[in-house]
Amino acid sequence: MKEQNDASGNPRFTNHLFDFGKDGPDYAYFNRQLEAVKSMMQISTDVLFVKDMYKDYYPYIGGDSLYITGYTNKEMAVAGQEVFRMLIDYEDAMFLLGYEALYYQFIQDTPPERRNQVVLFELLHFKHKDGNKFPVTMTIVPFLFDANHNPWALVGRVALTPKSQERTAWIEMKDTGERFLYQPNKKAFIAEKPKCLTTAEQKILLLAARGLTEKQVAEELNISHNTVKKHKANILSKLAVDKISEAVIVASNLNLI
């Protein structure tokens, strides 16, 4: 990208997707918020990062990054915006480049008042310092907005994925639960068919959320134990989770119960 400086000396990228105006974002405010994030990370083991959309770099990568990458936070800080080229598997990096601009375009196409509801989920593979690869899930949300509702900072969380999975990416709207899956062959995020639970599945999930065992659920609904097990298997499959406790959270977030 061709870079130029604005009046305050901040770098500008002439083909940037978002129009921040000639003066750029309010960096005094940005820095105060960044310090708040850093303070929070003193009591967390999560791996968080902040991306500056205006300058197009990562001003902060914090948390206990050592335990999943083998690199120290200092090494990652020195790497700066190159850190993800260092950590992400090559094929995954190419996959990410395929939808990164589409994600930003999705935000731009979203009504200004809902842009803070756009969440990107990425299941990719990191490279440990020792050369081993492992799956992670990154969750990214717009963090700060300018007066025109353009996101000039994103915050992301990196978490280990419990089992090996194929690389994938999707967007979810926090307020409605709408989900859009990235399809490389179409080079687009495509809306998924809304998930739904039957009345029986909803009842079983609500009872499970109260802590009832399968036997107790069967007695409460006057159905067989095997029927409860079958319904629970369907619930897990529909919501793409492994545990009923996870199903409760997902179903709640999607307003299914």
Task: Give pLDDT tens digits along the chain (257 positions).
Answer: 334 444 444 444 444 567 777 777 888 898 999 998 888 887 777 788 898 888 878 888 877 766 678 888 778 777 766 777 788 888 888 999 899 989 999 999 999 999 999 999 999 988 888 888 888 889 999 989 888 888 889 999 988 876 667 889 999 998 887 889 999 999 999 998 777 888 999 999 999 888 899 999 999 999 999 999 999 999 988 887 888 888 888 787 667 77
**CB distance 51 to 120 below 8 Å:** no
Say yes or no: domain 3-191 is CATH 3.30.1490.20: no
Please name which of 138, 126, 17, 135 lies closest in space to residue 69, comparing C-alpha atoms: 126
Residue ranges per structural domain of the chain: 3-191, 199-253
Please provide the CATH number assigned to the domain covering 199-253: 1.10.10.10
What is the distance between the alpha carbons of residues 139 and 251, in angstroms, rounded to a whole number?
A: 18
Q: Say whether 199-253 and 3-191 share the same fold.
A: no
Sheet with 133-145: list strands edge to edge: 57-62, 47-52, 151-160, 133-145, 118-127, 168-173, 179-183, 188-191
